[in-house]
């Protein structure tokens, strides 16, 4: 049964629909004018010179790694907490994944945990915005520079985030931006590779490459998808302001619940708030977390698991790898956040979450 309160719900205006209709009528789905415009917009939004729009996030990561010369016989360091798409991408190009333990505050690796798993054949480090704020990423970038290993920033759905003078997407040799329905600024599907390296950008446009004895194609983003994403990005500041207000309301309401750890906030950081992930304290386990999510879904609130333990995604036998991340992954909950949420919706979500936590506590006691 569809949820009344969706986890994500990108705003589509009448103007968006008109632009989408015009794109469908006036150009080939695999044309390039709308895609070129989108690439320019994404490049500016991330502070990079070049952008390459790809049909999916998973294809974008594997295309970028291949263009960087990563392939069979190479090791890639991934965060222990994150999105399974990066695991599938590394496997797709025939490389081996190694996982860096997370910091319990930022939920991303540190330069020390990355250095602990570097091998002589490590050719790339991937890490993203685990808590939505990007805290911890400057340390990762500096550590990769010392190790002389390229850093790929997984901006994911957090385009528009900033910390200090840095913009999300600007820290590594390249970055990948998610423009799927999970993002506040969405074309329905797709992603963009951004970089300041002209040669790397051109290599990412090459399209076909061979991995694991099979030919894989990195499809460009369709024109109608690019048209919709461009319209969304044109309203990025307004969308972010609305979601920032929603995040603040969550924080005020949920700070009264001692069972929860809320997303970290720092004065010099600004999140696009495409996700609001809370963490149950250590007295709760995975069964408690899953029952809380099911309870919210029964109340037509589409909460979901916040972050995956990627070593287990890579290999089911890796459950004991990166134990900090393994513990945290069993206790994260992603709450709905998008411009269509009302104050009443947010209050209802918080009240329902509190009720489900109380029920889980009573069951355990």
Domain layout of the chain by residue ranges: 14-233, 236-364
pLDDT in tens, 229-250: 998 899 999 999 999 999 999 9
- pLDDT for residue 233: 92
Q: Percentage of residues in the chain with pLDDT exceeding 70? A: 91
Does 16 have pLDDT greater than 60? yes
Overall residue count recorded for the chain in this entry: 365
CA distance 42 to 273: 17
The mean pLDDT of 348-362, rounded to a whole number, is: 96
Under DSSP, the state recorded for 289 is: H
How many CA atoms within 13 Å lie on the side-chain side of 279? 20
Give pairs for 234-239: CB < 8 Å, separation 24+.
234/41, 235/11, 235/13, 235/185, 236/45, 236/159, 236/160, 236/184, 236/185, 236/272, 237/160, 239/11, 239/184, 239/185, 239/339
Does 364 have pLDDT greater than 80? no
The SS3 assignment for 348 reads: helix
Closest by CA position to 303, among listed 358, 249, 236, 349: 349
Class of 14-233 per CATH?
A: alpha beta
Closest by CA position to 89, among listed 146, 152, 26, 148: 152
Per the prediction, the chain carries an average pLDDT of: 89
* Pair 19, 228: CB distance under 8 Å: yes
* Pair 98, 127: CB distance under 8 Å: no
pLDDT in tens, 300-314: 999 999 999 999 999
Residue-wise burial string across 110-145, b where 16 or more C-beta atoms lie within 10 A, e elsewhere: bbebbbebbeeebbbbbbbbbbbbbbbbebbbebbe
More reliable by pLDDT, 190 or 23: 190
Q: At what angle do helices 33-46 and 223-233 cross, to 10 degrees?
A: 40
The SS3 assignment for 23 reads: helix
Does 1 have pLDDT greater than 50? no
Note the CATH number of domain 236-364.
Answer: 3.90.1150.10
- pLDDT for residue 2: 43
Q: How confident is the model at residue 166 (pLDDT cuts 50, 70, 90)?
A: confident
Does 4 have pLDDT greater than 90? no
Q: How confident is the model at residue 124 (pLDDT cuts 50, 70, 90)?
A: very high
Q: How many CB atoms lie within 10 A of CB 194?
A: 30
The mean pLDDT of 72-92, rounded to a whole number, is: 94
Under DSSP, the state recorded for 263 is: P
pLDDT in tens, 33-66: 889 999 999 999 999 999 999 999 999 999 999 9
Q: How confident is the model at residue 315 (pLDDT cuts 50, 70, 90)?
A: very high
The mean pLDDT of 310-323, rounded to a whole number, is: 91
pTM of the model: 0.91
Under DSSP, the state recorded for 27 is: S
- pLDDT for residue 223: 87
The mean pLDDT of 94-107, rounded to a whole number, is: 94
- pLDDT for residue 298: 95
Lowest average pLDDT, out of 68-72, 199-203, 273-277, 278-282, goes to 273-277
Under DSSP, the state recorded for 161 is: -
């Amino acid at each position: 049964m569809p949820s009344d309160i969706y986890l994500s719900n990108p705003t589509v205006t009448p103007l968006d629909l008109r632009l989408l209709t015009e794109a469908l009528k006036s150009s080939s789905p695999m044309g390039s004018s709308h895609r070129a415009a989108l690439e320019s917009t994404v490049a500016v939004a991330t502070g990079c010179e070049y952008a390459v729009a790809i049909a999916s996030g998973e294809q974008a990561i594997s295309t970028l790694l291949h263009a960087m010369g990563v392939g069979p016989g190479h090791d890639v360091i991934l965060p222990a907490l994150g999105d399974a798409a990066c695991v599938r991408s590394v496997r797709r190009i025939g490389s081996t994944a190694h996982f860096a333990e997370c910091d319990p505050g930022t939920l991303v690796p540190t330069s020390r945990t990355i250095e602990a798993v570097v091998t002589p054949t490590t050719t790339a480090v991937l890490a993203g915005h685990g808590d939505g704020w990007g805290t911890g990423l400057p340390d990762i970038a500096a550590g990769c520079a010392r190790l002389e290993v390229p850093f790929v920033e997984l901006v994911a759905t957090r385009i528009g985030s900033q910390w200090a003078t840095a913009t999300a997407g600007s820290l590594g040799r390249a970055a990948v931006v998610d423009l799927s329905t999970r993002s506040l600024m969405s074309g329905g599907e797709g992603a963009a590779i951004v970089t300041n390296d002209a040669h790397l950008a051109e290599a990412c446009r090459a399209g076909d490459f061979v991995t694991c004895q099979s030919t894989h194609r990195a499809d460009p983003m369709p024109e109608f998808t690019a048209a919709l994403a461009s319209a969304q990005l044109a309203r990025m500041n307004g969308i972010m302001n609305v979601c920032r207000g929603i995040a603040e309301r969550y924080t005020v309401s949920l700070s009264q619940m001692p069972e929860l750890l809320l997303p970290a906030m720092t004065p010099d950081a600004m999140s696009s708030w495409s996700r609001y992930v809370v963490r149950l304290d250590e007295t709760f386990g995975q069964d408690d977390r899953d029952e809380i999510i099911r309870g919210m879904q029964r109340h037509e609130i589409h909460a979901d698991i916040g972050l995956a333990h990627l070593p287990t995604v890579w290999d089911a036998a890796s459950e004991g790898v990166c134990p900090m991340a393994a513990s945290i992954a069993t206790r994260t909950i992603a709450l709905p956040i998008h411009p269509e949420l009302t104050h009443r919706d947010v209050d209802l979500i918080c009240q329902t979450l509190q009720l489900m936590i109380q029920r889980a506590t009573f069951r355990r006691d």
